[in-house]
Chain A
């Protein structure tokens, strides 16, 4: 079973089914899981997840996650 690292930012940690208080944690996922599947697995509010980075690059929900990868989830944010 692939193991990935999940990072949740800007309020998403409070909205996820995740280890209490953790914004970053390891997660075992079923082989062939897409990012969209992980959003469901974590019970993240799908319409609030705006940007997803896998190993420092933007990916969409159809991307199939591989063992050892790091996934970071963000709501819609901006600044400057």
Chain B
């Protein structure tokens, strides 16, 4: 295996053999290991000493089902700690088939006004000037790049909000239809990427299969994983995710009294049904020309949880996810599905993370900038972000910045990253994840919602603290491994209930890497990744006081359950012992 090292200070590109230590790694394991080894923990996230590492998973580029995730790692401009965000996209599949396990971007051009594009093909890898794309919106950029480099290329790119170096921005990957809709969204990875002077990376389309050392074992593993995904009620064809998308969660979290509403002031939203997966499925059925349920973020995904939502004017919006519907919807008191979908598209177009944007707008609403429910006002803020006006820069920097500027005390953030769509005062296990993950508040880091609310992977009472640290730790460690395989985190729903699926995933990884891991080894690998990330944060200056909830959650009961965050700090700290 090789990796590509790009130095933006001298504009050089090198292809290097992957050192032995990293040979079996992929995805998050690889990005976090390289960041921990090569980036000074105290460096400025937007400075020349930070690096951006882009790595497909161990199984990416193979025929293992739903394995096309690509990780982006860096020191986060939002949290100041280590960051990994991932997306499902053909980009990583092509890269892996070409024989590359990572792209490492380091240094910084002397001229901050210049833009560059990294073009990776089988024949050559070159950095080219890209000033003509400076501050260009991403739908237009993707069209132009596809016209120039070919309609099937893989694209990673950053929008104007990231070029303003705002901490609420992500890296966009193009989907199969060449829309910039697949986001490694969280933690300001977009700003880190843009700080390197890079506007985009283009990878030539490559068919076939990435290198596999043991084809027989791979087939055994692949089939076991596939069987689990096709059997489980959540992931199977015509199952819940395929039929209603991720937004199937809106109603259940609302019925659980745990759908954060109007900046985490309530756990129920009266407009929930209007912004639900069921509502989108109904709209898509009425207009199949413009709408589609069961869309796949990358070739080879067998789940198909993505949604193309048709608005009343017949315009398509890709992909409207649960987190976005919640962040810009319930959390801002907005129940207009068309307006949320429009903002989803605009966020994709200018490079914003929809969760951080929704949290930022909700805090701004609480601070009196605009009223809750003001969809037009929220849409107008997106244009401010695109332009990079002072107000736009405040909104695009995330909810923590907005809270400081507007004097709002109720800021739902941990390590300065805005919380996702689950109320931690009501669902304690996800609270432990938000608070302790090295990523800052992140639901995907340890999705205990599965057993706490959904009855997947066992059952835990969401309202109690007992056993939640261990539950979160187990989920966090296992997720670290899954994020390293390239498999979608949603494969966990099936393999939690069908153990042979997890065995298959690990066997397929063994077939690719030559390792001899058991599922127990996979957990230990995940735990070690977690410890590496935690250690980076400690070296960056974090202490146990950064593993704490926002104060208001200890003081303000949230209706309808009227619960507060009541877990002892010492219990939270025990996760690292």
Contact = CB atoms under 8 A, between A and B. Distances in A.
Contact of B243 (A11, A58, A80): A11
Contacts of B540: none
A56 B240 CA distance: 21
Given A10-B240, A53-B256, A56-B255, A80 B443 contact: yes
A80 B449 contact: yes
Given A56-B257, A56-B268, A56-B561, A77 B244 contact: yes
Interface residues of B, number: 41
Given A9-B252, A10-B244, A56-B560, A80 B444 contact: yes
Name the prevailing secondary structure of the B interface residues: helix
B532 interface: no
Given A56-B560, A78-B240, A50 B245 contact: no
Interface in A47-70: 50-51, 53, 56-58
A50 B456 CA distance: 10
Given A10-B277, A56-B268, A76 B240 contact: yes
B489 interface: yes
B454 A51 contact: yes
Interface string A7-20: 10111000000000
A58 B493 contact: no
Contacts of A76: 233-234, 240, 454-456
Nearest to A52: B255
A10 B443 CA distance: 22
B450 A78 contact: yes
Interface residues of A, number: 19
Interface in B396-436: none
B456 to A, nearest CB: 5
B256 to A, nearest CB: 6
B58 interface: no
B234 A58 contact: no
Nearest to B488: A80
A41 B464 CA distance: 32
Given A10-B278, A56-B561, A78 B255 contact: no
B247 interface: yes
Contacts of B565: none
Contact of B456 (A9, A56, A78): A78
Interface in B234-283: 234, 240-241, 243-249, 251-252, 255-257, 267-268, 273, 277-278
A75 B241 CA distance: 12
A58 to B, nearest CB: 7
B305 interface: yes
Contacts of A53: 252, 255-256
A58 B489 CA distance: 25
Given A9-B278, A50-B455, A56-B268, A78 B490 contact: yes
A50 B449 CA distance: 15
B94 interface: no
B100 interface: no
A78 B268 CA distance: 19
Given A76-B454, A79-B249, A80-B444, A56 B256 contact: yes
B262 to A, nearest CB: 17
A72 B561 CA distance: 16
Contact of A79 (B248, B255, B561): B248
9 contacts: A7-B255, A23-B273, A50-B233, A51-B455, A77-B240, A78-B248, A78-B490, A80-B249, A80-B490
Given A58-B453, A58-B462, 11 more contacts: A7-B255, A10-B243, A51-B455, A53-B252, A56-B268, A56-B561, A57-B561, A76-B454, A76-B455, A80-B249, A80-B489
Interface of B: 233-234, 240-241, 243-249, 251-252, 255-257, 267-268, 273, 277-278, 305, 322-323, 443-444, 447, 449-450, 453-456, 461-463, 489-490, 493, 560-561
Interface of A: 7, 9-11, 23, 50-51, 53, 56-58, 72, 74-80
